[in-house]
Chain A
């Protein structure tokens, strides 16, 4: 029963958390965004005392249920490990704790956190590691499925689904996500929760608390027949039947052992209670064949969709001028979204979970490739601009790297300012009339000025009122000069209010 509850809760939390990274409409983020905010490291970075107290109390009472239910990377490992268990039963054995490794890893993590070495923090923080897997590897498949539905919706004139562009935002982040998945997958396939109990800094910290938690699994030595079934099924490898001891710092309170014991010798109970209350445990089976079917379906969908998309592209191109892709200009200072307050603030708080990047509907945010802020969000305007009414990234960020901002404050926050490059401007070089930047500026910071005020047909060139510019990038995005725009936004290190 306890195991069932754990599995059910974990399934709900894991599904919703994954969907946070997949849902591009922003609906789920509004309802379940808090699931990202109750993750431990993000809560620490956001100084979210309420969540911290809750998590500490939770662990002190129930043990490391955080690792079994709330942490998406933990649940992800359980899923992989469950599949591995299908091929080989009773595959775990007790192993001694690698305490030195755990403490070294934790020390490295804390040092990195305090020194602001965001790459290291991002690499080992479990929630963010999962976030990258979800947004880089799962989201494309999800979007393909959506596009397939949109394709059929279009056939029947329905507007229920609309198709979205799928693009690789950063090769580095994709590679990191893929490597993380392979490593985590390998470890959990072989040995269950190895990562959680040797590398994960969250696991180590919570382990200290769970050692003294109120509720813990206990072995009733009188009933135990030393069959070692519980030990062989402990994915944390923390039950030592020889000594009838459980390493509570590693136990993730998954309740698997309780269900496995045929002799009613294993119980999850209050450490301070005297009486042993016998429990009826039911062996359970669960059917997950639907998972593989779903995988198959999405794979087929992927194949069909790529072919149809190609065909459509051809039909559209006929008789139209080709449009060259825009390239990202070199900026001396990169741009971070409104609400981030300063570049430093992002570098200090961000764990590179990619939630803001997958939430961005305007294709503006993408993971950085610079080493000092690897995979952290930064902005570019070659595929869209930061629309004034959108505040999604600030709403989803769990770590306080991007703080919540209202629309009103957003349009009065200068995150950068537009710079005009005369040599790229077609109004200047090709003698073409163009008002794209002026027309699209949401704060009227760009005005066309005649070069010769006495000539009515004089060239008109754009002038930026830097004090009014908010750095949204509309001018850069809509500028017809390609591949490099005649207007580009140079970031502000610290955002200003105008």
Chain B
């Protein structure tokens, strides 16, 4: 009896001590109590229940639409081998399953374009969405008239979208990928397309008219200055691009967002993960995130960040796997906004990433094929993988220099055949204008080549 009491006492004592520590911790780190709680109570977004009715929605002030914060990007849906042939076809069964699941769990914004998935994305979206009531989903598609911007061809493309999507109205219609002012004029203004689309909006066949932006800041300003009330605009936003957009071409998202707010244009967000880069952080950055919340994944942080600003209508994610869809639904059911202290940490990571050797390639393949046979995306992804894994051999004095050197060189030859490596780049510049991330490809190729050659030369 005496003994038992002692035990209880000790347990009580430990309990009290624990509470004391928690309180002190909370007091010391004034901003963190909710995070600490998350640490112990909520589990990772990678597993567990997927809520069906907790999705965060935002309202479009122009049309009154309630838009789910998670938007489904339809550009990366899976392909499969056609039975009995070598050709590939979209895996419609899987696509249907993903779409059904998304709608069941509150996702209602689907973003496609005539050029996605080798030109098949609209049709796939049409088949999958046809099976749901029309008021359950909002469909977004684009005027991708990059090649031929005559009025006739552009209008033809617009009309074709209705057929592909099997709908009588399009909820969100975008002028696809604004580049330069000159380009905007040619593609949309001078050929009368914008006037035509505004009329279509009046007629109700387009419910919201907007554009996506991927270019020079002048083009952005130019479009905003038009005498048209845009219902939305699509921009690239994530915690790196907010203040540290890292190529000469990209514009800081902070500026873009503030301008949109001024003009009362809600923002649709693309590249919340920066081509997957924010889902796979280098160790020293990952450490900072895990110190805030051991359970949260880097992707979760990136999505929370992109969804936090109030004027964000929806955040697009091109989800291929059910697991990604589930994780993202959990993140936004409901959204837990990023607070000021957390934001500081994310900005710190942005600076770390900015200073790293990482090449912001999203392996979109737009630069390919290189006329001289270089496999540009593979070269970059091998280099980036080594940057991310902290495997880039730097100094011959480093203790792990020899292994890192071997891993880099052997891995390089495995990933990219010799004749397709950076050393065979001739600097012709053909690829440079094709890169949507505006990477100076020849210069980066030369940098990787010099680096590799240095490694090969240092035999010790």
Q: Residues of A with Cβ closer than 8 Å to B?
A: 154, 159, 162-163, 316, 319-323, 387-389, 426, 432-436, 439-440, 478, 480
The number of residues on chain B lying at the interface, defined by a beta carbon within 8 Å of a beta carbon of chain A, is 30
Q: Is the CB of A154 within 8 A of B426?
A: no
Contacts of B370 in A (CB 8 A): 320-321
Contacts of A319 in B (CB 8 A): 365, 368-369
**Stretch binding the partner chain, chosen from B98-106, B152-160, B275-283, B407-415:** B407-415
**14 A-B residue pairings within 8 Å (CB atoms):** A163-B413, A163-B414, A320-B370, A320-B373, A321-B373, A322-B373, A323-B420, A389-B457, A389-B459, A433-B426, A433-B428, A433-B429, A436-B425, A436-B427
Contacts of B222 in A (CB 8 A): none
What's the nearest-Cβ distance from chain A to residue B419, in Å?
5
Contacts of A433 in B (CB 8 A): 426-429
- Does B247 touch A at the CB level, under 8 Å? no
- Does B446 touch A at the CB level, under 8 Å? yes
What's the nearest-Cβ distance from chain B to residue A151, in Å?
10
Tell whether A154 pairs with B414 under 8 Å between CB atoms, given A320-B373, A320-B420, A322-B373. yes
A-side interface mostly: loop
Q: Is the CB of B426 within 8 A of A432?
A: yes
In Å, the complex CA distance between A388 and B449 comes to 16
Contacts of B114-151 to chain A: CB distance below 8 A: none
Contacts of B373-430 to chain A: CB distance below 8 A: 373, 375, 403, 406-407, 410-411, 413-414, 417, 419-420, 423-429
In Å, the complex CA distance between A169 and B403 comes to 32
In Å, the complex CA distance between A84 and B365 comes to 61
In Å, the complex CA distance between A163 and B457 comes to 20
Q: Is the CB of A434 within 8 A of B428?
A: yes
Contacts of B365 in A (CB 8 A): 319
Choose among B372, B419, B429, B446 the residue with the greatest number of A CB atoms under 10 Å from its CB: B372
Q: How would residues 448 to 460 of chain B score, 1 for a CB under 8 Å from any chain A CB and 0 otherwise?
A: 0100000011010
Contacts of A480 in B (CB 8 A): 372, 424, 426
- Name the contact of A436 in the complex, choosing from B410, B419, B426 (C-beta under 8 A): B426
Contacts of B83 in A (CB 8 A): none
- 9 further A-B contacts with Cβ under 8 Å, apart from A162-B410, A480-B424, are A162-B414, A321-B371, A387-B457, A389-B456, A426-B426, A433-B426, A434-B426, A436-B426, A478-B424
Contacts of A436 in B (CB 8 A): 424-427
In Å, the complex CA distance between A321 and B424 comes to 13
What's the nearest-Cβ distance from chain A to residue B425, in Å?
8
Contacts of A323 in B (CB 8 A): 372-373, 419-420
Considering the complex of A and B, which 3 residue pairs feature the smallest CB-CB distances, nearest first?
A323-B373, A434-B426, A162-B410
Contacts of B424 in A (CB 8 A): 436, 478, 480
Contacts of B428 in A (CB 8 A): 432-434
Q: Residues of B with Cβ closer than 8 Å to A?
A: 365, 368-373, 375, 403, 406-407, 410-411, 413-414, 417, 419-420, 423-429, 446, 449, 456-457, 459
In Å, the complex CA distance between A389 and B453 comes to 11
Contacts of A432 in B (CB 8 A): 426, 428
Tell whether A321 pairs with B407 under 8 Å between CB atoms, given A387-B456, A436-B427, A478-B423. no
Q: In chain B, what residue has the closest Cβ to A389?
A: B457
Contacts of A389 in B (CB 8 A): 456-457, 459
What's the nearest-Cβ distance from chain B to residue A275, in Å?
58
Q: Is the CB of A435 within 8 A of B426?
A: yes
In Å, the complex CA distance between A323 and B365 comes to 19
Contacts of B375 in A (CB 8 A): 320
Q: In chain B, what residue has the closest Cβ to A323?
A: B373
In Å, the complex CA distance between A322 and B420 comes to 10
In Å, the complex CA distance between A433 and B423 comes to 16
In Å, the complex CA distance between A433 and B442 comes to 11
Q: In chain A, what residue has the closest Cβ to B411?
A: A159
Contacts of B419 in A (CB 8 A): 323
In Å, the complex CA distance between A319 and B118 comes to 14
What's the nearest-Cβ distance from chain B to residue A85, in Å?
45
What's the nearest-Cβ distance from chain B to residue A242, in Å?
63
Q: Is the CB of A439 within 8 A of B429?
A: no
Q: In chain A, what residue has the closest Cβ to B417?
A: A316
In Å, the complex CA distance between A322 and B446 comes to 22
Contacts of A387 in B (CB 8 A): 456-457
In Å, the complex CA distance between A144 and B166 comes to 56
Contacts of A316 in B (CB 8 A): 417
In Å, the complex CA distance between A321 and B406 comes to 29
Contacts of B411 in A (CB 8 A): 159
Q: Is the CB of A159 within 8 A of B446?
A: no
- Name the contact of B423 in the complex, choosing from A154, A159, A321, A440 (C-beta under 8 A): A440
Contacts of B372 in A (CB 8 A): 321, 323, 480
Q: Is the CB of A320 within 8 A of B369?
A: yes
In Å, the complex CA distance between A432 and B426 comes to 9
Q: In chain B, what residue has the closest Cβ to A436?
A: B426
Tell whether A159 pairs with B407 under 8 Å between CB atoms, given A319-B365, A321-B372, A389-B457. yes
Contacts of A162 in B (CB 8 A): 410, 413-414
What's the nearest-Cβ distance from chain A to residue B389, in Å?
11
Q: Is the CB of B457 within 8 A of A388?
A: yes
What's the nearest-Cβ distance from chain B to residue A38, in Å?
27
Q: Is the CB of B410 within 8 A of A159?
A: yes
Contacts of A320 in B (CB 8 A): 368-370, 373, 375, 420
- Name the contact of A439 in the complex, choosing from B413, B414, B446 (C-beta under 8 A): B446
In Å, the complex CA distance between A426 and B411 comes to 32
Q: In chain B, what residue has the closest Cβ to A390?
A: B459
In Å, the complex CA distance between A433 and B428 comes to 5
What's the nearest-Cβ distance from chain A to residue B415, in Å?
10
Tell whether A159 pairs with B406 under 8 Å between CB atoms, given A320-B368, A433-B427. yes
In Å, the complex CA distance between A2 and B400 comes to 49
Q: In chain B, what residue has the closest Cβ to A363?
A: B418
What's the nearest-Cβ distance from chain B to residue A410, in Å?
12
What's the nearest-Cβ distance from chain B to residue A24, in Å?
13
Q: In chain B, what residue has the closest Cβ to A324?
A: B373
